[in-house]
Amino acid sequence: MAIVELRDYAHAPTGRGKGLETFSFALEPGDVCRLHSDRIDDAHLFLRALATLEPPEEGAYLFRGEALNFSKPRSLYPVRRRIAYLGVDAALIGNRSLKTNLLMARYYYENNLHLELGGDVLDLCRALGIEDKLHLRPAQVAAEDARAAVIIREVTKEADVFLVEQSFIALSRPTVEKFSAMVRKVVDSGVPCVFYSEMPEFGQFRKKDIFIRDGIVQVP
């Protein structure tokens, strides 16, 4: 069974894009897709559609075979928890510390405000250089540190789908290499992934290509 299936989906244009004409697309376990587009805004729209962040003009979104109801936003929260999204609009809650941001989902779903970061999360914080900044708010750290916190938040979701937009991964060389190692673990676990990136680090993971040209989605 497909984890995500978009049936007869269509989206109006955003920004300088052409929008997405009616298309169907499915992500199954083990799929690793590289997205190519003649317009950045259309690629961004496609990823947001997969992340359930853009209600379609028409069509159905099925997550593990169940159709989602975009007219009830709260019903989408459990699904969004299962989708790791590293897009240009992925952000932290600005008035909360990095630590609180990393724990926010667990606070909500475990109904416990006295949780601590697990050892695996702390190991990633150490690897990406933010272990000693966890008490600070996003506005108090460098942009790369805030992005690192978002990466850790999404990678540790134990998600069913992993989406990455190149513009988000504006990291220094050592951090990119560590992030690439994290991605390798996600790919090896069989979680389906979609990368919109020309970075050579991600090219090694590609198994399938997706093309968007003049708003037409094609999967050869």
Indicate whether 194 pLDDT > 70. yes
pLDDT at 172: 65
pLDDT at 203: 67
Indicate whether 107 pLDDT > 90. no
Return the domain boundaries, the chain: 4-218
pLDDT at 25: 96
pLDDT tier for residue 32 given thresholds of 50, 70 and 90:
very high
Indicate whether 110 pLDDT > 90. no
Q: How many CB atoms lie within 10 A of CB 175?
A: 19
* Radius of gyration, CA atoms only, the chain: 17
Indicate whether 46 pLDDT > 80. yes
pLDDT at 108: 72
Tell me what the mean pLDDT of segment 172-184 comes to.
77
The third-level CATH classification (topology) of the domain covering 4-218 is Rossmann fold (3.40.50)
Indicate whether 53 pLDDT > 80. yes
CA 209 to chain centre: 18
Q: How far is CA 25 from CA 3, 20, 89, 186, 190, in A?
A: 11, 12, 23, 21, 18
Tell me what the mean pLDDT of segment 64-71 comes to.
96
Indicate whether 167 pLDDT > 80. no
> Is the pTM above the cut of 0.85?
yes
